[in-house]
Structure 1
């Protein structure tokens, strides 16, 4: 049996009013509803929205890799 796998890579954006961690978890949780075999993610961008001189919400762009082959 081979250890080679094939992955597909997608890019999504998660948001949260609370924290960057929550934005990441929200994105992964939502993606898991329709995408199977997710194995890893990479944060590629972090940004936010300012409201009245304070952080209003966080936005995190993620690349998510998921297996399309186990051969």
Structure 2
């Protein structure tokens, strides 16, 4: 008959083992929330100018090409 052997576990390892299963789910939800926020705020001039123009592949799409004479402010 097999014996049951209990091993002590360090508190840090116990916390990591408990939180490891949630890490992937929280990462997916966090990425989705960030992408949704950028999508909803992409019409805001501050977000467009400070964040979206600086993205390497998408910068040209969000760049403002309106002439200065056509801008109201």
Structure 2 length as normaliser, TM-score?
0.24
- Structure 1 or 2, whichever has the larger Rg, is 2
Structure number with greater CO (CA < 8 Å, separation at least 6) is 1
Q: Which structure has more strand as a fraction of its residues?
A: 1
Structure 1 length as normaliser, TM-score?
0.25
